[in-house]
Amino acid sequence: MYQGSGGRGWNALSRGQQIGIGVVGILVLFALLSGGSSLGRLGDPLWLLAVGVIILVALPVHEMAHAAMAVQLGDPTPRMQGRYTLNPIAHIDPFGALLILFTGFGWAKPVQWNPGNIDVDVRLGTILVAAAGPVSNLVLAAVGAFLVPFADIPMLERFLSFFVWINALLFVFNLIPIPPLDGSHILFAILPGDYFQLRMALSRYGFIILLAAIYLGRGFISGLAGQIVRWLFLAFGS
């Protein structure tokens, strides 16, 4: 994401903010036109509580994982920019958070880091930094699934199930190989040779492609996340 050229109102927003508003607006409109089933859970206090915990805990953990991996590899940039923290204020993107409320997946502000500062091969470092965030969501989902059998209160069990579900969605969503998601950095790192033109094309049209992927592939994303949730509950006897 980058800052726009200035102006008032809509023109004062960055391109990423404009597209973020468009993504949320289109998804909400789609939910309304499809009968509002996607919005029905907004009346469930446990869903709202789970979303709140995701925004205040899971997203900061996700971004902190990126920052911590970069710092561990020798780059002080995340620490210098105040991103080496679990403070949600440092990480929350309002449009990405709103998208989580409506769909269960979204994003936080991306952590910046400098590959030139790391102590390992740049490709390996890129993969490690990019994968750290989604892996943290998988770990959180596993922790939630582990706790479900100990939840004697039905409301707590339902809340933990929502928590597991959203973290599984975030794990799958962030591994989609479309900019600016983490999966795109992993893809560019493992591709052989120089794919500069491909990188530029995907970076330029990444948000448009991502919007199409969310709209057309939402069932696939949810299905894959659901399979992960079933594996986790099976592994922990839930």
* Per-residue model confidence (pLDDT) at position 194: 66
Is the pTM higher than 0.85? Answer: no
Q: pLDDT category, 43, cuts 50, 70, 90?
A: confident
Q: How far apart are CA 4 and CA 15, in angstroms?
A: 6
31 pLDDT band (50/70/90 cuts)? low
* Domain extent listing, the chain: 41-235
Catalytic residues: 63
- Span 36-41, mean pLDDT? 56
Q: What is the pLDDT of residues 129-176, one digit of tens each?
A: 999 999 999 999 999 999 999 988 999 999 999 999 999 999 999 999
On the CB side of 123, how many CA atoms lie within 13 Å of its CA?
8
- Sign, CA torsion 129/130/134/137: positive
Identify whether 60 is preceded by a cis peptide bond (ω within 30 of 0): no
Report the alpha-carbon angle 126-191-182, nearest 5: 40
- Whole-number mean pLDDT of the chain? 83
Average pLDDT over residues 10-15: 53
Average the pLDDT over each of 11-15, 70-74, 80-84 and give the range with the smallest value: 11-15
Candidate from 10-19, 35-44, 195-204 with smallest mean pLDDT: 10-19
| Best CA proximity match to 204, nearest among 180, 221, 186 | 180
- How many Cβ atoms sit within 10 Å of the Cβ of residue 66? 28
Q: What is the pLDDT of residue 33?
A: 47
Q: Rounded to an integer, what distance in angstroms lies between the CA atom of residue 116 and that of residue 114? A: 5
| pLDDT surpasses 80 at 6 | no
The pLDDT of residue 24 is above 90? no
What pLDDT is recorded for position 144? 96
Highest mean pLDDT among 43-52, 135-144, 205-214: 135-144
